[in-house]
Amino acid sequence: MSLFFNKLMYFLVTVFLSLTLIFFLIRFAPGDPVARILGPNAKMEEISKYREQLGLTRPLHIQYFSYLTGIFRGDLGNSLYSKKKITTLMGEHFLPTLTIAFFSILLAFVFGVIFGTLSGIYKSKTFDHLARFFSITSLSFPVFSLGPVLVYLMAIKLKLFPVSEWGQLKHAILPVLTLVIPLGAIITKVTRNKYLEEVNVPWVEFLRAKGMDDRGVNLRVLKVCMPTILNIVGIQLSVVLAGTMITETIFDIPGMGMLLFESIQNRDYPVIQGIIVYSTIIYMAIYFTVDFINEKIDPRIGQKK
């Protein structure tokens, strides 16, 4: 119970610090949301009056405590532009982001573990060289450069997949591939290194001496490697969330990333804050889920805490 309480407090403090930090940072950033809403021809009197209507002229600490009060009531506020509730806006843009993030993490995990394990089993052989070359090459391409390359090769030249469309599963292939390649490369590299670290320890030699076949030994070693792999997946989740925003912008996908990008451009404070809170909660929830799974796989992890 004490461990659960400590984790819960860590979760709440992290979310609180995140929403506090983003609240003040975006207000100190240059740019006026009211000026963007009313346009360049708006008069100063109109801008001042509209700022007062939106509550932007109130002292920052009053705005902050008002925002916190809304959070505790489950109200993230309304968009400065569309006037829609933040929860409604996020609901409209949530499914594309969920689809891309889910398939990206799932495929990267599956292929990364398979290729990494096989690379470790066939160390210094052809497959290992190819897997390592793939990892190094893939990590050399950040998302913002890999996306346009895939668009040019697979959409423009080969005409295999559509671009700037959404509504069918095939529209998610290129965005997912853009995230899977670098993430899969990291998981492949980590899995290979961890496998080679564990495969020659005394307990593995003991299993071989008892007559366990290679398949059984490899599965046991992979189980021991799994907490490290899952931790890497959890850490890389933040990269996936950031990469989703870039990917959705490149492929013109109406997801949370595109909504955040447009909100940053427009200085739509409530939407930015809502998305950051959502992202932090999702990230922390997955972090604790990974932690829980690791303790089930290897009970020694929980005993060390």
Instruction: Domain 94-303: give its CATH code.
Output: 1.10.3720.10
Backbone conformation region of residue 59, classed left if phi is above 0, alpha if psi is from -120 to 50, else beta: beta
What is the pLDDT at residue 3? Answer: 66
Band (pLDDT 50/70/90 cuts) for residue 113 is very high
pTM comes to 0.79
| 30-86 residue pLDDT tens | 777 787 777 777 777 887 888 888 787 888 888 888 888 888 887 888 888 888 888
Which residues, including other chains, have CB under 8 Å from residue 22's CB and lie 6 or more apart? 272, 273, 276
Separation of alpha carbons 121 and 195, rounded Å: 8
Q: Is 115 helix (H, G, I), strand (E, B) or coil?
A: helix
Indicate if the pLDDT at residue 301 is higher than 70: no
- The pLDDT > 70 percentage for the chain reads 94
Higher pLDDT, 222 or 303: 222
What is the pLDDT at residue 143? Answer: 78
Higher pLDDT, 36 or 225: 225
| 234-278 residue pLDDT tens | 777 767 777 777 888 888 888 888 888 888 888 888 888 888 888
Which residues, including other chains, have CB under 8 Å from residue 260's CB and lie 6 or more apart? 245, 271, 272, 275
Indicate if the pLDDT at residue 20 is higher than 60: yes
Domain ranges in the chain? 2-72, 94-303
Indicate if the pLDDT at residue 190 is higher than 80: yes
Angle between helices 214-251 and 256-266 (to 10 degrees): 40
Separation of alpha carbons 73 and 243, rounded Å: 31
Average pLDDT across the chain, whole number:
83
What is the pLDDT at residue 215? Answer: 85
What is the pLDDT at residue 298? Answer: 62
